[in-house]
Amino acid sequence: MLNVERIRADFPALARQVHGKPLVFLDSAASSQKPVQVLEAMDRIYRECYANVHRGIYAFSEEATLAYESARDKVASFINAPFREEVIFTRNTTEAINLVAYAWGRSHIRPGDRILLTQMEHHSNIVPWQLLAQEKGAELIYLPITDDGLLNLEQLDNLLDDRVKLVAFTLMSNVLGTINPAKEIIQKAHAVGAVVLVDAAQAVPHLPVDVQELDCDFLAFSGHKMCGPTGIGVLYGKEALLQEMPPFLGGGDMIRRVEWESATWNSLPWKFEAGTPAFVEGVGLGAAVDYLRGIGMEAIAAHERELTAYAMERLGSLPGLRIVGPPAHQRGGVVAFTFRDIHPHDLAHLLDLEGVAVRAGHHCAQPLHRRLGLTATVRASFYLYNTHQEVDRLVEALEQAAKALGR
């Protein structure tokens, strides 16, 4: 069990009041709050040893480089990557997926090939593949979902054949909360020779994720959703694939030697990290990994499962409230819903007046919302610092909103 009150004391923002009421922050699926341990780690670099990494032969640069590259080691250990060189720092999940689409996809996708996605994907795991398919003459196909928000795995065998060269899917849906059977999907994809990318933006912050156990070829996630800063994300890729891929961006740090007419590339991981990296943010991500590991990912996952089940029970008791997605035991800490005939944007504004921060809209998943027959939903998302009392505050705020609108 988590000591949530002790954890909350590490997050300065959670002590704030909004509109004169204590903040209830329920939008961690978009971006989480940051503990003092992360803020202090980044502040130390800025205050004590700020200097560009990898290049300087002096103490500040060497200290900053050590801190930055130590963060890579921490991330590799966190996801159980076999080699630190398989951890590529990017700006976020979106850039990591685009890196694969550009550097791997443009070298391997041919006219007539198929790219298999699912109907529950974030735009960041759809649009890069649309661009690639349009450029290469490939075909996008989608694994459908069931009405209760699960992947229709009965259709997977029908869609997977030797025309499918890439399978890309989310480990946990940012709208439905669905936790997908990644290992099973990966095994079936590999059986037909397909490469697999896993969008783990919603999973890595909340669940134990082991890339060796999954046997995925690529896995992408963001620092800002896991108590770290913005501007830093991760692409994990199997070494053999990364070695054969051309660079994504050209410039400093990704080269070994430059001639007037040609260049040779740096070794992994730096081949894919052109220019001055976000090294302070990288240190912040390393501190976030330390923080999460200190608490324990199994404990965080268990806390969120309990909190989500409680939230679904409480929300389900409100007349006219529709929760989208599967039951609590098949999802992570995300609950998206509609409430009577109140537009989600109006509802989010009224909740904000009660100090409750939620997300409203299509959550970068317009095709999924159309599949559900909706244009938008309200999304409450939970993390290690949320409490049962905050769920009660959400329910009370929804009741207040309904009264205020005469619904």
pLDDT tens readout for residues 34-71: 999 999 999 999 999 999 999 899 999 999 999 999 99
Quick check: helix, strand or coil at residue 285? helix
Summarised one tens digit per residue, pLDDT across range 203-253 is 999 999 999 999 999 999 999 999 999 999 999 999 999 999 999 999 999
The sheet that has 114-118: what strands, in order across it? 87-90, 233-237, 218-222, 195-199, 164-170, 114-118, 139-143
User: Of how many residues is the chain composed?
Assistant: 407
Give CA–CA dist 96/407, Å, rounded.
Answer: 44
Amino acid at 3: N
Summarised one tens digit per residue, pLDDT across range 62-100 is 999 999 999 999 999 999 999 999 999 999 999 999 999
Quickly count: other Cβ atoms within 10 Å of residue 5's Cβ.
Answer: 9
Does residue 268 have a pLDDT over 90?
Answer: yes
Any idea where the domains of the chain sit in the sequence? Answer: 4-27+296-404, 49-294
The first and second tokens of residue 166, run together, are 């890439």
pLDDT of residue 406: 84
pTM: 0.97
Does residue 1 have a pLDDT over 90?
Answer: no
What value does the mean pLDDT take over residues 147-173? 97
pLDDT of residue 140: 98
Inter-CA distances, 94 with 101, 151, 163, 297, Å: 11, 22, 26, 24
Does residue 407 have a pLDDT over 80?
Answer: no
Percent share of the chain, pLDDT over 90 = 99
What value does the mean pLDDT take over residues 343-348? 97
Inter-CA distances, 248 with 110, 216, 274, 326, 377, Å: 19, 21, 8, 38, 36
Give CA–CA dist 207/145, Å, rounded.
Answer: 22
The CATH-assigned architecture of domain 49-294 is: 3-Layer(aba) Sandwich (3.40)
What value does the mean pLDDT take over residues 317-344? 97
CA atoms within 13 A on the CB side of 360: 15
pLDDT of residue 306: 98
Does residue 21 have a pLDDT over 80?
Answer: yes
Give CA–CA dist 276/40, Å, rounded.
Answer: 22
- Binned at pLDDT 50, 70 and 90, residue 303 comes out as very high
Residues that are catalytic: 364
pLDDT of residue 230: 98
Quick check: helix, strand or coil at residue 342? strand
Quick check: helix, strand or coil at residue 147? coil
Q: Which CATH class is domain 4-27+296-404?
A: alpha beta
pLDDT of residue 200: 98
The sheet that has 334-339: what strands, in order across it? 321-324, 334-339, 377-381, 359-361
Summarised one tens digit per residue, pLDDT across range 165-214 is 999 999 999 999 999 999 999 999 999 999 999 999 999 999 999 999 99
C-alpha closest to that of 156 among 117, 108, 123, 112: 117
Phi then psi for 308, rounded to 5 degrees? -65, -40
Q: What is the mean pLDDT of the chain?
A: 97
Does residue 102 have a pLDDT over 90?
Answer: yes
Summarised one tens digit per residue, pLDDT across range 109-144 is 999 999 999 999 999 999 999 999 999 999 999 999
Q: What angle do CA 386, 306, 13 make, to 5 degrees?
A: 5
Angle between helices 388-404 and 297-316 (to 10 degrees): 30
Give CA–CA dist 58/274, Å, rounded.
Answer: 22
Give CA–CA dist 120/124, Å, rounded.
Answer: 12
Give CA–CA dist 339/318, Å, rounded.
Answer: 9
